[in-house]
Amino acid sequence: MKLVYFAWVRERVGRTDEQVELPDGIDTVADLVRWLKGRSEEYAYAFENEGVVRAAIDHVHVKPEARIAGAREIAFFPPMTGG
């Protein structure tokens, strides 16, 4: 599964994208965030404030309870500031 990061989430994580093999039991976006936070200080810092970082599965905004089975690309980013 491909993960991509944008803006200050990208800077804190220290990479633009990566391929990950998820262990069993990671079923939702919230599960994935919890797993990422346990990987290193960088991920823990990026996701330190629960609920601030937004997620999208295959280019569609999703909530933390969204299931990730079958996802090709999951993105994490701060609240949008376009326009």
Partner 1 sequence: MDFTIRIQAQPFDAAAETAALTRGRLDIGAVVAFSGLCRDEGGRLAALELEHYPGMAEAEIGRLADQATSRWPLLGLTIVHRFGRIAPGEEIVLVLTASAHRQAAFEAASFLMDYLKTQAPFWKREHLKDGTVGTWVDAKEADDLAADRWR
Residue of 56, 62, 68, 74 that binds partner 1 (CB under 8 A): 56
Cα 52–chain centre separation? 11
> Does residue 44 interact with partner 1 by CB under 8 A?
no
Nearer to partner 1, 38 or 83 (CB): 83
| Per-residue contact string for residues 10-39; x = within reach of partner 1 by CB under 8 A | ------------------------------
Bridge partners of 3, per DSSP, are 18, 74
Q: Which helix (H) or strand (E) holds 6?
A: none
> Does residue 80 interact with partner 1 by CB under 8 A?
yes
- Cα–Cα distance between 72 and 56 in angstroms, integer? 11
